[in-house]
Structure 1
Amino acid sequence: MVHDPVKSSELFTAFPRFLDVAGLIDQDFGLMFGDAAATKFLERWPTIYKQKVLEQSRGLTQTADLQYLVQNAECTTDVEHGWDSDMSSILVLVHLLPPSPHGRKRPGKLSARQASDRLVKFIKTGTSIQGHLDGIVESLQPYLLAVGTQKSLIHKYFIVIDKHAIPCKSPDTLACFDELFKAHFVFGTSYNQDLVNVYNFLQTTIFEIDVDTTKVNPRVAELRARMLH
């Protein structure tokens, strides 16, 4: 179904449990790639890659936005404003691997900050989730919808895909981002063009999926080489 453009739009009609039973994405991904691959991000990001990403970010032009993210990512206590430590560290990776230009047909490229908005969107507790879904006017690849009193206090995450909101099984930021990545494989969707560098890095470096057959941007290859040595 996921490889047929017509049938894929009916996916959640045929399999409605994805919309109300949390954890099915994780389960399907484990069946596709094995349990060892399914646990790699949650094992490796907090222990190895989070710190490496922060170290590499010191070589970037220090914009106010990046400095704010790094400061929050390094915070060991509760963050007051902005995203929590884990989400901030993932968004620092977006700054390390910003969108590539779209080519001559669509000149220009998004900033890392704009690309981050393609990865996670925040709405306040009490805001209608259905209202958010109804307001989607362009077809975007899967992204996280964070619901909370403020960005640092999220009590529920959803994966938004095809105007559906799939509840994440845990309120933990890293677990939800892990599910978002896996959703691309479970539902057969391509990566968002502005986040393809970030996802390719995670796919080949941390999850180690299709490492030899995935064509990556030189910037991704360079960062991968620096991280693995």
Structure 2
Amino acid sequence: MEKFLAENGDASIRDILKENDVDDLEVLASMTESDFEKLGIISFGKRRKLVLAIQKLKSIGQNHEPSEQQQGPCDVPVALAYEDAAGDGPSLPDAKRKSNIDLREALSNTFEGKVLCKHLDNGQTLSSKQRIMLVKIAVACLVEKYGLWPPSEQKTLLAKNIVNTWPSTKDTTPMMAGHIDWMKFSPPNPTTMKKHITYFKETFHYRRAFIANLDHSVTDVLDVFPRVQDVDALIAIDFSMMHGDLTADTFISKWSSFREKVMQVGRKEENVTQLVERFKMLTDVDTVCSRVDAVRYLFYNVPEGTHVEGAIEEIKEKGYRQPLIVTIGPPMKPTQFWICLDHIPVPGGSSVVESFDKLFKSFFVFGLDYPPVLMNFYEYFAAFVYEVSNASAVKPLVRTFASSVKAVE
């Protein structure tokens, strides 16, 4: 334990874990990034480093386990084996065999577990939080009885018995076959990445219907699909499935030539002045802002060394409208890029261009409205750069600017 933390943590992390009685590798290996955050490890980078180190530790341990356990440690919660429990996976030699873990007894040991058990006994479906609790208790039981690498048979047996005891736990989402839960609780790594992307595409229509429900916020969407936060391609995948594959890298591929044309138009001061004056005449004066103010609707910069969580807190305090791009480092040459969605940081990429591409697509993917002061700005990109909206529907001012850019040789 000490050696592991010396290589993958620091004194502050060791103190936090010690204060919370996390004193052996087996307990540590059962923890998730959310667990580390609840303990007060604020730095996103430190949490991710711990999670990746734990995954590596499990992989090393897995390679030294007997063949019966070669399918891996208990890093995929047992309740995610619903597709097997529903009869879609391979059946066991003895279909009547039961898990020797009494999950009902484990639930009765805590007040929250008793409430959950009563909820299940009444045949009610689980909320996201309740499902997480059930999974955590089930995994804890397996780890306590069998250690870090429970036999795969026992994981499957427990999953089957959960569904047989409480049928309401079965994933009945049409055509999903447990995909949503699997993505939610399975950390992405080189081995699982292909499956994550496949399942994400297959849940597209479910996700669109979920997002279309106005009662759901971005936070709700990310709670059901948290992999959007750590699998870089998912927002682009949703956007391309909404508008066609040709839109996937439209902005990034056009950026170099587009940037030069816009700069040439910007150098013609007379045209710019005329456009601004026309804009003031055609638009409610309350929605007109300076170039500096407009940039603030797009970017929020913090100094090098600031954790992204600290930047998010500043955005909360100042009441900045989201989504926007958070940059860390020198304003003209930042080193980190994030998208702030409902006060949740999502990696933005390796450059301002990649970050703006993800920012723009986020409005469509999460069903968000453009900030009023940047309505023309975003409508221009939607109609004339990404070409995902009707150019004839935008304001004459926007079409005039688009014509000026297009006319540049």
Q: If the length of structure 1 is used for normalisation, what is the TM-score?
A: 0.73
Give, as a single letter, the amino acid of the residue that structure 2 aligns with 1:141. Q
What residue number does 2:326 align with?
A: 145
Does residue 208 (structure 1) correspond to residue 377 (structure 2)? The answer is no
Give, as a single letter, the amino acid of the residue that structure 2 aligns with 1:128. H
> Which residue of the other structure, out of 223, 228, 253, is the alignment partner of 1:13?
223
Post-superposition CA distance 1:18-65 (Å, at most 9, x none): 12222211121122122211121111121x21111011111237xxxx
Does residue 112 (structure 1) correspond to residue 321 (structure 2)? The answer is no
Give, as a single letter, the amino acid of the residue that structure 1 aligns with 2:403. A
Distance 2:362 2:281 in 1: 23
Other structure's SS at 2:336 match: strand
Distance 1:201 1:212 in 2: 8
C-alpha displacement of 1:102: 6.9
Post-superposition CA distance 1:96-125 (Å, at most 9, x none): x98998738xx3632111011110111112
What residue number does 1:164 align with?
A: 344
Other structure's SS at 1:197 match: helix
Other structure's SS at 2:305 match: coil
Distance 2:347 2:281 in 1: 31
Q: Give yes or no for contact 2:338–2:347 (8 Å, CA) kept in 1.
A: yes
Any gaps of 5 or more consecutive residues in structure 2? 1-209, 271-275
Change (3 A) 1:128 1:217: same
CA RMSD of aligned residues (A): 2.8
What residue number does 2:306 align with?
A: 127
Question: Which structure is higher in RCO with an 8 Å CA cutoff and minimum separation 6?
Answer: 1
Change (3 A) 1:129 1:30: same
What residue number does 1:218 align with?
A: 396
> Which residue of the other structure, out of 182, 189, 212, is the alignment partner of 2:361?
182
Change (3 A) 1:188 1:139: farther
Other structure's SS at 1:5 match: coil
Distance 2:365 2:310 in 1: 26
C-alpha displacement of 1:132: 2.4
What residue number does 1:49 align with?
A: 258
Change (3 A) 1:142 1:31: same
What residue number does 2:52 align with?
A: none
Q: Give yes or no for contact 2:311–2:326 (8 Å, CA) kept in 1.
A: no
Structure holding more strand per residue: 1
Q: Among the aligned pairs, what percent are the same residue?
A: 25
Any gaps of 5 or more consecutive residues in structure 1? 62-94
Give, as a single letter, the amino acid of the residue that structure 2 aligns with 1:117. R
Give, as a single letter, the amino acid of the residue that structure 2 aligns with 1:211. N
Give, as a single letter, the amino acid of the residue that structure 2 aligns with 1:33. H
Distance 2:254 2:214 in 1: 35
Structure 1 outlier segments of 4+, above 6 Å: 97-102
Distance 2:332 2:320 in 1: 28
Distance 2:320 2:287 in 1: 20
Other structure's SS at 1:183 match: helix
Other structure's SS at 2:364 match: helix
Give, as a single letter, the amino acid of the residue that structure 2 aligns with 1:126. G
Q: Give yes or no for contact 2:297–2:320 (8 Å, CA) kept in 1.
A: no
Change (3 A) 1:140 1:4: farther
Structure holding more helix per residue: 2
Other structure's SS at 1:130 match: helix
Distance 1:37 1:19 in 2: 21
Q: Give yes or no for contact 1:98–1:194 (8 Å, CA) kept in 2.
A: no
